[in-house]
């Protein structure tokens, strides 16, 4: 299954109908059906619109699209490395923020 197909399927699992997905990405219902059925790809702009609607990180979603569309294995490896770096950085920032909040709460309670 392609990334575009996965994103459309995720949108449907969230409760959106094909016609609603088409409206969100500025396309037609037949086009969205073709993407889902024939392994067509969403554009970067369409991925951004749908990711925003679903509350997904648009940076990550665009990188996933680039991984799929990379022309060489070297390009693909670079995009995968970038995605992994983004994920690790996000996890670090989240953990750091949680630690700061926990420390502030402990200070308030003292």
Query: How open is the CA angle 98-99-100, to the nearest 5 degrees?
Result: 90
Confidence of residue 106 (pLDDT cuts 50, 70, 90): low
pLDDT at 24: 97
pLDDT at 88: 85
Other Cβ atoms closer than 10 A to 25: 23
Least confident of 8-12, 78-82, 91-95: 91-95
pLDDT tens sequence across 16-52: 999 999 999 999 999 999 999 987 999 999 999 999 9
Considering all CA atoms of the chain, what is the largest pairwise distance in Å, rounded to the nearest integer? 61
pLDDT at 89: 82
pLDDT at 56 over 70: yes
């Amino acid at each position: 299954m392609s990334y575009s197909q996965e994103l459309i399927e995720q949108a449907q699992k969230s409760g959106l109908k094909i016609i609603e997905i088409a409206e969100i990405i500025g396309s037609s219902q037949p086009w969205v059906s073709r993407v889902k059925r024939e392994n067509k790809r969403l554009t970067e702009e369409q991925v951004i619109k749908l990711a925003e609607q679903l509350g997904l990180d648009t940076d990550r979603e665009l990188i996933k699209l680039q991984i799929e569309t990379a022309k060489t294995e070297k390009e693909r490896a670079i995009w995968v490395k970038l995605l992994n770096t983004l994920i690790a950085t996000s996890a670090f920032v989240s953990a750091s923020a949680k630690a700061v909040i926990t420390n502030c709460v402990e200070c308030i309670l003292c």
